[in-house]
Amino acid sequence: MKYYAHKSEDNRLQTVKDHLFSVAKMAESFSAQLFKEIAYTSGLLHDIGKYSERFQKRLNGDNIRYEHSCCGAIECYKLSGDRNPIALMLEYCISGHHSGIPDGGTKIDRAHNNVTLHSRLKRAMDYVGESDYSAYKKEIGLSVPDGTAILNELLSTNNKKEIIERFAFFTRYIFSCLTDADFLDTEEFCQPMLDRKLKADFVAVKRAVEDRLRGFTQDTPLKQARSRLQMQAYNNANTSGNISILNMPTGSGKTLCSLNIALSKLMKSGSTKKRIIYLIPYTSVIEQTADTFKRIFGKYADILQHHSNYVFDSDEDEETDTLNKLKRATENWDAPFIITTNVQFFQSLYHYKGSGLRKLHNVGDSVIIFDEIHLLPINMLQPCLRGIGYITKYLNSEAIFLSATMPDFDKLFKRYMPDCTVTKLMTDKDDFKYFKKCRYINLGKKDYNGILEKSSQYSNSLIVVNRKKTAQELYRSMSGKKYHLSTYMTPHDRSRVIKSIRDELKGSERITVVSTSLIEVGVDLDFKAVFRQMAGLDNILQTGGRCNRDGNEDSGDVFVFEFDEKPARDLQGPIDIVKHLINKYDDISSTECIEEYYSRLYDSNDDIIVKNSISEYASGIDNIPFRTYARNFEFINEETIGIVINNCDKSEELVQRLKNKDYTAKRELQRYTVSLRRYEFEQALKLGIIDDFGTGVFMLTNNDYYSNETGLDMEMYNDIIL
């Protein structure tokens, strides 16, 4: 009897043997050297359950339920028992190659509905006899590798938690190699003409980036200092080290400088490094950065944008064939140049499903740039730094940390990345003085009128506050030419307003802009004076980067102030630290002040940092909660729900498409969406101003609650009896 794994739509058949050997070889080719033997074995065993007459009947259309995915795991268990870490690693990966890596559970798990590894294996062994799939023995030689090199690496530390963390990472990595190989082999059989290959001529890309850097004039002391800092960073990057720290002031050209360094590292590696991954915290900044990269070197490399705001079908600059390849590449990041978010990157690292973890093996052999690294959430520092450490230690990748307000990670590096070599690219900071383009002045407590009166003394000014409601109230108190920015506005309206502000700043009319913190990163605007409500030091300094940005004045003024309002809970700690530092240092933008701020911040949150670790919830490698930890891995810890604002012709067109069951419109509608916290969403439901019209996407039904100037405001009509 012949046993088949897949049947194509045109009734071609792929044998189980062909599928297993193909997946094994592909998984092995994806893997770093340390894991090749285990990756190969996972591919060879993952579908031996298809050597079953029950599965064959199911493949031919019979309505038979058969759990084939556990059979390879059962054989690993039988061959090696429950004390072999390599067998256990294979059991996690093989049993979960369809549904995701399960929690380990305990050996006494017996509940019928329990989905832990131990309960699934027990249930499968009870109900799926070996004879049901034993035909595999005629075609597949089965053995569990001893995995000596992996075992030595696991046991090279005496720290039990570190052993668990390494084991968990190794398991997710092998799972990534297996699931991507499984998917791609099946796809290749079913769609043999499908082309996934994306192009990049990194020599031409580097030449284009260097031409762009040389094109900047050096006719002022500041621009000459910028050139010297970039050259210093570039030269220091030649030293060995798998983590590079690029701490450069705002306006010194960090983005292109880091990209040039990454290109050099990739090209010097010969063929061992395959891609550059550029990580940015905010989607609004990604779009701006991606547009810049496209203009500079887009004709030499296919650039994959993977974030919620990018709509492949609407990119008119790309050919349809390339767009289809890019869309497919979001599944596994098999692309030469990737721009994505921290959320996408780290949640993929700690996922449990193949749909997320398929990317992990392609994070290897990469140069990864972490822009605005200071924005990593404090409660996520341990898993993030651990992940980066493992990627750079085991997967032949290098990382570049980028920030104008660089945290002092030394203590955390020693604790969670002890084997990584860290290189600081800014060893001479003498030229930093040219970028001190503003002075920071503490105004203390003020009311709205006090801030507006002070801002009226400047030809243009920016006022940044902590709350969206505060921004709306302050805007309504303002007179003259004024603009408002907050996430109560749709991305479409924010982009429109930012363009108007940029145009207005070129003129002579006095303007005032009030914004929330969204303006702090990636928005290239230049104001005479900036006012920042008391917040974390990074917030204050990033806002200060919008003051005298181009250095046209001798010095700009950045005023720090407080309103008589209680800060949000997550801001209270940072504010308390800043209040101390603002009295201690004459210049809160100094390196010493920034280092003390982060030292105090991390020390005061040490218990939070320590607790967020998968090893905290496992007593051993056999009961690691892969699935539970992944589901609780919330990079953004506040649930939000998107509400479509249908206030222009384009949004109207997309809404009609959605109502006509064209669900491809969902992604494009994100540019016309406002995200609400859960309680705000429930308030909107009570007001009766949102409806999903059966589409699953909620929309604002009364546009009186939305202003093109200030965005959504559900309190606007509170005095009206509804």
pLDDT value for 283: 73
CB 269 within 8 A of CB 303: no
CA distances from 152 to 86, 146, 425, 478 (A): 12, 11, 33, 67
**Quick one: which of 280, 279, 283 has its CA closest to 670?**
283
Give the model's pLDDT for residue 638.
Answer: 63
Percent of the chain with pLDDT over 90: 68
Q: Is residue 621 part of a domain?
A: no
The predicted pLDDT at position 240 comes to: 72
Predicted pLDDT at 448: 96
481 and 444 assigned to the same domain: yes
What is the rounded average pLDDT for all residues in the chain? Answer: 90
Q: Is residue 195 part of a domain?
A: no
DSSP state, residue 301: B
Task: Give the Cα separation of 2 and 16 in Å (integer).
Answer: 9
Type of residue at 58: R
User: Among all chains, which residue has been given the structure tokens 């595999």?
Assistant: 136
419 vs 25, residue with greater confidence: 25
Q: What CA–CA distance (Å, rounded) separates 469 from 247?
A: 34
Global confidence as pTM: 0.91
Residues of the chain above pLDDT 70, percent: 94
pLDDT of 108 reads 64
Query: Is 396 in the same domain as 453?
Result: no
User: What pLDDT, on a 0 to 100 scale, did the predictor assign at position 291?
Assistant: 86
Q: What pLDDT, on the 0 to 100 scale, is given for residue 57?
A: 87
Is residue 632 in a domain? no
Does residue 443 sit in the same domain as residue 423? no
- Same domain for 400 and 511, yes or no, is no
Question: For residue range 654-686, what is the model confidence (pLDDT) as tens digits?
Answer: 999 999 988 888 878 988 999 898 899 999 999
The answer to whether residue 633 sits within a structural domain is no
> Phi, psi (5° rounding) for residue 369?
-105, 120
- Which of 157, 190, 223 is where one domain is finished? 190
| Same domain flag for 409 and 470 | no
85 within domain boundaries: yes
Type of residue at 77: Y
What average pLDDT does range 84-98 have in this prediction? Answer: 94
Is 286 domain-assigned? yes
Q: Considering only 261-275, 317-331, 438-452, 539-553, which range has the smallest mean pLDDT?
A: 317-331
Q: Does 167 lie in the same domain as 211?
A: no
Which of 312, 262, 314, 305 lies closest to 287, judged by CA?
305
Task: Read off the pLDDT of each residue in 195-207 and give the average, rounded to a whole number.
Answer: 93
User: For residue range 206-246, what is the model confidence (pLDDT) as tens digits?
Assistant: 999 999 999 888 888 888 999 999 999 999 998 878 999 99
What is the helix (H) or strand (E) element at residue 117, kind and residue range?
A: helix 117-127
Please indicate, yes or no, whether residues 168 and 234 belong to a single structural domain of this protein. no
Distance CA 275, CA 282 (A): 21
Q: Is 618 within a domain?
A: no
For the ranges 65-74, 372-381, 632-641, the one whose mean pLDDT is highest: 372-381
Residue with tokens 């944008």: 305
Give, for 398, the enclosing helix (H) or strand (E): strand 398-403
Q: Among the three residues 588, 604, 622, which one is the final residue of a domain in this structure?
A: 588
User: Could you tell me if 445 and 403 lie in one domain?
Assistant: no
- Say how many domains are in the chain: 4
Secondary structure percentages of the chain, helix, strand, coil, to 5 = 50, 15, 35
Helix (H, G, I), strand (E, B) or coil at 83: coil
The verdict on 165 and 215 lying in the same domain is no
- Say how far apart CA 462 and CA 501 lie, in whole Å: 11
The reply to whether 409 and 482 lie within a common domain is: no
pLDDT tens sequence across 343-398? 899 988 999 999 899 999 999 999 999 999 999 999 999 999 999 999 999 999 99
Residue in the block written with tokens 């990033």 = 542
91 with 104: CB under 8 angstroms?
no
The secondary structure of 340-356 as a DSSP string is EEHHHHHHHHT--SHHH
Sheet hosting strand 481-485, strand order edge to edge: 438-445, 556-562, 529-533, 460-464, 511-515, 481-485
Q: How many CB atoms lie within 10 A of CB 553?
A: 14
In a domain, 269, yes or no: yes
pLDDT, tens only, 493-516: 998 999 999 999 998 899 999 999
In the sheet where 640-644 sits, what is the strand order? 673-677, 640-644, 698-700, 690-691
CATH number at residue 412: 3.40.50.300
39 and 64 inside one domain? yes
Model confidence at 81, pLDDT cuts 50, 70, 90, reads low
Question: Is 255 within 8 Å of 278 (Cβ atoms)?
Answer: no
pLDDT class for 469, splitting at 50, 70, 90?
Answer: very high
* Residue numbers of the domain that contains 422: 202-374+381-431
Query: Which residue in 253, 326, 417, 350 sits closest to 634, CA to CA?
Result: 350
Smallest Cα–Cα separation from 530: which of 515, 547, 545? 547
Between the CA of residue 529 and those of 228, 230, 497, 537, 555, what are the distances in Å? 28, 28, 19, 18, 10
Report pLDDT for 193: 84
335 and 261 within one domain: yes
Whether the pLDDT of residue 637 is over 70: the answer is no
Give the end of a domain, one of 128, 161, 190: 190
> What is the per-residue pLDDT across 686-701, written as a single tens digit (0 to 9) for each?
999 999 888 889 999 9
- 94 burial type by CB count under 10 A (0-12 exposed, 13-18 middle, 19+ buried): buried
* Confidence (pLDDT) at 221: 86
φ, ψ for residue 557 (rounded to 5)? Answer: -115, 125
